[in-house]
Structure 1
Amino acid sequence: MNWRLEIAVQTPAHSALGDVLSYTHPSPVAPGALVRVPLGRREVLGVVWSAQPAGADDGAAALELKPVGAVLDALPPLGAAWRDLVAFAARYYQRSLGEIALAALPPQLRDLSAVQLARRLKRQAAPAAAAASACVPALTPEQAQALARYETESGPFLLFGSTGSGKTEVYLQAVAALLEREPQAQALVMVPEINLTPQLEARFKDRFGSGAVVSLHSGMTNPQRLASWLAAHGATARIVLGTRMAVFASMPALKLIVVDEEHDPSYKQQEGARYSARDLAVWRGRREGAKVMLGSATPSLESWHQSRPAQGEDGGGRYARLAMPSRIGTAALPMVRLVDMGLQPPRTVLSAALLDAIGQRVARGEQSMVFLNRRGYAPVLACGDCDWKSECPHCSAFRVFHKIDRTLRCHHCGFTERVPRACPACGNPDIAPVGRGTERLEEHLGELFAGVRRPDGSPVRIARIDADSTRRQGALESQLAAVHAGEIDVLVGTQMIAKGHDFRRITLVAAANPDAALFSSDFRAPERLFGLLMQSAGRAGRDAAYLSAQGATAEMWVQTHHPRHPLFAALRRHDYPAFAQRELQERAAAGMPPFAFQALLRADARTQEAAQAFLNAASAAAEGLEGAQHVTRYSAVPHAIQRVANVERAQLLVESASRRALQRLLAAWQPLLHGLRKAPEGKGVIRWLVDVDPQSI
């Protein structure tokens, strides 16, 4: 008897091929098993979703089904909980089942034959028992209270701890208690960015031993990712550390999920299936009976609202809020100083008072950090005679001037050219940079501090950490090591240096130019800015003993043209609850998340007119769909950067006070969108996608 297998293969949602494809096999295959199947002219990896005997009622259709090429039976099948997670993500984020399932597997697994995989599995190490080391620091009363509530309540939990309050130690001890209670259990710990994994990995390996811990992120080589995934899937690894992709790791004994810096936008995937790893972590914890702990000094407003205490008729949120407002030891949060740039001389980059404060710290052997969230030398190169600017010929954006290699580089499409010797439009040789990036700020500081000396008489050492300076493998690790060793006096960088790093000798942090986000069209911009400034401030004064020995106080300097803005008033007090209360009141009044639910229908086309015509036709087609009366559809508009790599981009926002109504509409909309793509309204459209719970609009 032949068996009919429904198999998930990697097909994008807009291909309209459906969630699973049917194949035949002479024997039953367990759901979750990996197989190799023919698809077109290729043989691809697939995941068996269901199997049933090929009955007589299948008729001639069964005869046309292609047979499975091979079953990778050396690998235990992916569990029902993992398949449920993938199915939920595909359904909620409006993607195909196979697209989510196959993207969640390590790339190298797609190329291995059954024999190669079996050989690889034989090399896997035996499960390692995790044993906590003796060097466990004593808990503060706040840490102990948070852990006590975590142990006795079900969660999910929001660990709201100020920077330097010891959230990582809470994670470590929660994992240690779990593994002591259940030695075979597994824990997943997620961080938002790759550059935060090395120091976290070192702490976990010191505590639990290297054999019990593996990492999982896109910065690893394919063989490394496969080895880590197999260790997690086979329960060899007790602890998996990773970025957003790790939320899909196959962990059959998962009992705890930690999402550190849960507010970070990096947890939202911005290409392909646009899922939120933080939200999927909460769903996965509920499905698998695993406890979930979200941690942040500046939680997302969605999580903060979900952790609100019950008041009156409001029954409160679904999360339990664990508060740790104090820093460990006697370290105080840095004093925030606002510099009114409106009172400074024109074209001032760094105020005289700030430069003096940095100079004093250099003279005492302390470290300072200057934060500017714009890389490159200058955002624009311009001609003063004819108004030529370094526009990208392929994007509606300017190419950034990078002085270090004398290039103009588009940060959207990657188009790069050498800097012209004269203006391409009028021949004027005096083309000049406009604005400042981290590269120019680094140069400027070098000029200003050329005569300043360190305590040993040597010159000031300035370093820059951004996406350009850390391109080479190992560059970031070596630069961070130099900062930790005290070899750097002034560190300049983008948001890469603002998050999570435990710099012990930094006593001053400065934000050079944060005003742009105050008046952005994106309603989430103030939330992101406040979080970034609070996180930046948290890099200063983390070591109370060092501050005391230096006789110094930690400071955060903010240069702004709007010193009376309410955001800065809350920042000066380190008062996240006050900031969140004001923002939530404004969002409630405007009917914005978390009091409403949103999705974007995006279209890429050869012309802006074609993209908007497709979106407006899609909006009209949705009129009679189930739930449409409860969903507001706005007009199609261009993206903020409407052209990238010669592709025009437009978007249409849909919004509802009911998540259920929005999901019903999106599900019913899918077949209409597939049809429109092939209709005259879809002419010129290259691709379309649905972005559920978008992080930027």
Structure 2
Amino acid sequence: MSATPPPPSVLGVAIPSPLRRLFDYRPAATPPTGGWQPGVRVQVPFGRRQVVGVVLECRATSDLPLAKLKPIDACLDATPLPADWLWLCRFTARYYQHAPGDTLHQAMPALLRQGRTLEARTRERWQITEAGADEAPPTLARAPRQAELLTMLRQHPHGLVSQAILAQSFGRDQLQALERKGLIMRLEEPLTAAAPSGGPLLAEPALPLNREQATALAALHERLDGYHPCLLHGVTGSGKTEVYLQLIEAVIGRDRQALVLVPEIGLTPQTLARFRRRFRVPVVALHSGLTDHERLDAWEAAASGRAPIVIGTRSAIFTPLARPGAIIVDEEHDGSFKQQEGLRYHARDLAVVRAHHHGIPLVLGSATPSLETLQRARSGDYRHLRLTQRASRHAPARLELVDLRGRPRRGGLIPPVIDAIEATLSAGHQVLVFINRRGFAPTLSCHACGWLAECDHCDARLTLHRQPPLLACHHCDHRQALPDACPECGSADLRPLGSGTERTEETLAERFPDVPVHRIDRDSTRRRDALEQTLAEVRRGDPCLLVGTQMLAKGHHLPHVTLVVVVNADGGLYASDFRALEHSAQLLEQVAGRAGRAAHPGRVLVQTMHVDDPNLRLLAARGYDALAEQLLEERRIAALPPFRFLALLRLEGAQETAVSELGNRAAQALRTYLGERALDVDCLGPVPAPMERRQNRYHLQLMLGAEKRSRLHEASAWLVAWLEAEPAARRVRWSLDIDPQTLS
């Protein structure tokens, strides 16, 4: 037998801080049940605070004398946190050049950060025994309420929870009396993801598949036991979700778990409801709308294996799974999967890494795949599965470009488009009007001198809102009252410039007073469940008008919408970001996909000032796939992603000179390092960010580019180390974004 290794003298602990290092502590006198191991949470002194950290290293030595190390105050776990979660967190910190302690902190539920134990909350369930299933015993002749309670429980063979029993005016004394007599028994079951009571896996039968769906599912079934990345490239309404459901049925049949990622919290209830209708197994959700207790319960249910299906938004990629079987990323192209603050990870990319680590199938689904995913499918790294037919058998509606030039507008809409809306409503159908700008108007203008309402804290204009009336900055959330007169010339002739969702809603309500108008944007859906309640009303099928932002474009099934109107398609065509055209085309195709998903064909009218733009014409004539092929060729020639890897250093501070000086010094130091090492990495900048001043802070950017990911990471790691050692960097906020999705 091998000798038991001696207990470690030093524990390397990851502390929630921006420092990219571990902190050494002496072990506590009492070790955890399984001994000191990576993944155990501990409570430690850190400065003047007590914090919760995670042990990542168990060593015999430290760079500091052992006598100077502080001891750990308490061990919070008997056993380590899940191993798959710990592996993913360590990879994430390493790949995204982020502090390990902060990575672990952000990847765990809030209650675990506070020291709460990872264990299931339980509830009581009372169930009839064999003795209680017989005729009412004589012992209950003088206890009529106990007899009534026993009769009620006989009608529920699988039992009732205590809350349901107490709600029927029964008391705990009656429950305990029946338990003492052996007529009922008390069971403790998890509050979340309790096991169902036997029966078949499916609560409703699977839908029949068309030939393309069946072919895609067969390809996914071929390799359920190994890493098998697939792009499920299906037009909107082609039945991608049904393929997901039937793949998950096979995964659960093998006693494994499936993780499904969706881009927006608004899609979670819809997806959750469909999965719960289909399966008779626990389905848990993880998203920002949950309470801390609900989130921890779902996390624990997944980690223990009680929840075979986990559905969540971006952060759900960090959910531990006891028996991982498949990962599905729906709408994989969506920008919501990229975290834009703090730990700047991309959930889709981590899903790829995690599926490879576990050796399980990965499905990336989209009607408009990102160029990165499309290129990997073209190169053979991913299997490319196509769904070209809609379940409704109607072909997807093509974009019809409508020229805005020289035409009068009301609420952003020109007369021919308003006529088309009227005709659609008269036919008993619904209309979706898409305008990706909330508020009443993009800004307020003086008709006399040309003054524009601008934010005092940002290089941006203030948006005019009517509900309530005010001017608001959508970048720093600054708000101010409407002026009575122009602050420049004193004129009272102040006019809204352009249209937002509120103005379009007002125009349509005036034009069609007998038709309900539902506005869906971030302002109108702040109340919990507001979006679901509105969509439930829309799905009843009565003629109505939907006015909304991109919240409406993502995955919602609106079977009675037959006309989609895009108020202005020009916003993203000429932006400075090289991804702007890709993202705009995806958004247009996605919103167009809301039309004609059921019995009636759809129509999409796109208003634009640039009907002759070649990219827009290609998108309208041949669809997203043709435009994506052209964009990929342009990216290849320009050496841009997906043919090159990027990292973006963002610098910001209240003093413009301090930000500029640090940016120039960092660029000079990095170029010197790259030259000495002969690394094939480009260093571009520093240059001001597209919005240089935001929230009264100045923003600067430095971009790194390389053909090889390893070279980019070597240069990035050196730059991070230089900044951490540079005293001037302590006066400027900085962050490094690996694989940035936007340059703003």
Unaligned runs of 5+ in 2: 1-6, 124-187
How far 1:228 sits from its partner (Å)? 1.0
Which residue of 10, 13, 19 maps to 1:7?
A: 13
2:44 alignment partner, one of 17, 37, 51: 37
Cα offset for 1:574?
5.1
Whichever residue aligns with residue 530 of structure 1, its letter is A
> Which residue number in structure 1 is paired with residue 206 of structure 2?
136
Aligned to 2:292: 222
**Which stretch shifts more, 278-287 or 635-644?**
635-644
Cross-structure match for 2:617:
569
1:517 is aligned to 572
Residue aligning to 1:694: 740
The reply on whether 1:66 has 2:89 as its aligned counterpart is: no
**Change over 3 Å in CA distance of 1:348–1:128 after alignment to 2:** closer
- For the Cα contact (< 8 Å) 2:501–2:547, is it kept in 1? yes
Aligned partners of 2:687 and 2:702 also within 8 Å: yes
Rate the CA distance shift 1:84–1:624 in 2: closer, same or farther, 3 A.
farther
Which of 272, 278, 282 is matched with 2:352 structurally?
Answer: 282
Q: Aligned partners of 1:47, 1:300: CA distance in 2, in Å?
A: 36
Is the contact made by 2:429 and 2:543 (CA closer than 8 Å) also made in structure 1?
no
Q: Quote the Cα distance in structure 2 between the aligned partners of 1:646 and 1:419.
A: 22
Match of 1:476 in 2: 531
Shift of 1:128: 2.7
Separation in 2, partners of 1:276, 1:189: 15
In structure 2, what residue type is equivalent to 1:161? Answer: G
1 CA distance for matches of 2:327 and 2:110?
Answer: 24
**How far is the alpha carbon of 1:6 from its aligned partner?**
1.7
Q: Kindly tell me: are residues 110 and 123 of structure 1, through their superposed partners in 2, closer, same or farther at Cα, counting changes over 3 Å? A: farther
* Alignment partner, residue 446 of structure 2: 383
Distance change in 2, residues 1:21/1:236 (3 Å): farther
Matches within 5 A, 1:331-370: 331-342=394-405, 344-345=407-408, 349-370=412-433
| 1:368-411 CA-partner distances (Å, limit 9, x unpaired) | 00101110011111223343322111111112111110111111
Deviation for aligned residue 1:652: 1.1
Letter matched to residue 646 of structure 1: N
Q: Once the two structures are superposed, what CA deviation does each residue of 1:310-368 show, in whole Å capped at 9, x if it has no partner?
A: xxxxxx23111011111114222124321112253478832222111110111121000
Residue matched to 1:454: none
The reply to whether residue 299 of structure 1 matches residue 369 of structure 2 is yes
Deviation at 1:436, TM superposition (A): 1.0
Secondary structure, in 3 states, of the residue corresponding to 2:363?
Answer: strand
- Alignment counterpart, residue 632 of structure 1, candidates 677, 682, 706: 682
Aligned residue number for residue 204 of structure 1: 275
Q: Deviations over 1:237-284 (max 9, x none)?
A: 111101110111111211210000000011110000111110010001
Correspondences of 1:627-666 after superposition (within 5 Å): 629-666=679-716
CA–CA distance in structure 2, aligned partners of residues 265 and 118 of structure 1: 34
1:390-539 aligned at under 5 Å gives the runs 390-450=453-513, 459-487=514-542, 489-539=544-594
C-alpha distance after superposition, 1:573-621 (max 9, x if no partner): 4533211110011111111111111111110112333212211111111
How far 1:672 sits from its partner (Å)? 0.7
Equivalent position SS for 1:694: coil
- Structure 2 Cα separation of the partners of residues 645 and 119 of structure 1: 43
Match of 2:246 in 1: 173
Q: Is the 8 A contact 2:262 2:268 kept in 1?
A: yes
The structure 1 residue matched to 2:99, chosen from 96, 99, 109, is: 96
Paired amino acid for 1:559: Q
Query: Which residue identity does 2:85 align to in structure 1?
Result: W
Q: Specify the alignment match of 1:268 in structure 2.
A: 338
Task: Give the distance between the partners of 1:198 and 1:297, measured in 2 at CA.
Answer: 21
Which stretch of structure 1 is more off in the superposition, 568-577 or 601-610?
568-577
Separation of aligned partners in 1, 2:691 and 2:393: 47
Q: 1:176 to 1:61 in 2, by over 3 A?
A: same
Aligned-partner residue type, residue 7 of structure 1: V
Give the C-alpha shift of residue 119 in structure 1.
6.8
- Conservation of the 8 A alpha-carbon contact between 2:238 and 2:388: yes
Q: State the secondary structure of the residue aligned to 1:638.
A: strand
Q: Is contact 2:411-2:507 (8 Å) kept?
A: no
Q: Secondary structure of the residue that 1:486 maps to in structure 2?
A: coil
What is the alpha-carbon distance in structure 2 between the residues aligned to residue 2 and residue 620 of structure 1?
A: 43
Give the distance between the partners of 1:628 and 1:398, measured in 2 at CA. 45
Partner residue of 1:674 out of 709, 720, 724: 724
Q: Aligned to 2:299, what secondary structure does the other structure show? A: helix
CA distance in 1, matches of 2:22, 2:342: 16
1:500-535: CA deviation from partner (whole Å, max 9, x where unpaired):
000010000011101121111111111111111111
What SS does the corresponding residue of 2:690 show, helix, strand or coil?
A: strand
SS in 2 for 1:132: coil
- Maintained 8 Å contact 2:13/2:23: yes
Residue number in structure 1 paired with 2:179: none
8 Å contact kept, 2:97–2:717: yes
What one-letter code is carried by the residue in structure 1 that aligns with 2:738?
Answer: V
Structure 2 residue corresponding to 1:543, chosen from 595, 598, 616 = 598
Counterparts in 2 of 1:601 and 1:131: CA distance versus 1, 3 Å: same
Match of residue 87 from structure 2: 84
From the superposition, tell whether residues 666 and 359 of structure 1 become closer, same or farther in structure 2 (CA, over 3 Å): same
The structural deviation recorded for 1:427 is 2.8
Query: In structure 2, the residue corresponding to 1:439 is in which secondary structure?
Result: helix
- Please tell me the residue identity of whatever aligns with 1:48: V
Counterpart check, 1:591 vs 2:639: yes
Report how many residues are paired.
660
How has the CA–CA distance of structure 1 residues 628 and 534 changed in structure 2, closer, same or farther, with 3 Å as cutoff?
farther
Q: Can you list the C-alpha shifts for 1:65-106, whole angstroms capped at 9, x where unaligned?
A: 2222222335x5233332221111111111011111110101
Decide whether aligned partners of structure 1 residues 380 and 36 sit closer, same or farther in structure 2, where only a CA change above 3 A counts: same
| Distance verdict in 2 for CA 1:625–1:78, change over 3 Å | farther
Cα contact 2:28–2:75 (8 A) shared by 1: no
Identity %, equivalent residues = 43
Question: Contact 2:539–2:559 at 8 Å: present in 1 too?
Answer: yes
2:231 to 147, 153, 158: 158
What amino acid maps onto 1:351 in structure 2?
A: I
Alpha-carbon offset, residue 60 of structure 1: 6.9
- Is the contact made by 2:204 and 2:277 (CA closer than 8 Å) also made in structure 1? no
Deviation digits for residues 136-168 of structure 1 (CA, Å, limit 9, x no counterpart): 111111111001111114521000000000000
For structure 1, the 5+ residue unaligned runs are 309-315, 451-458, 548-552
Counterpart of 1:49 in structure 2 is 56
Aligned to 2:153: none
Deviation at 1:441, TM superposition (A): 0.9
Given that 2:237 and 2:392 are in contact with CA atoms closer than 8 Å, whether structure 1 keeps it comes out as no
What residue number does 1:623 align with? 671
Amino acid paired to 1:371: F
Deviation string 1:535-588 (CA, Å, 9 cap, x unpaired) is 1111011013xx2xxxxx310111112223233333334533211110011111
RMSD, aligned α-carbons: 2.2
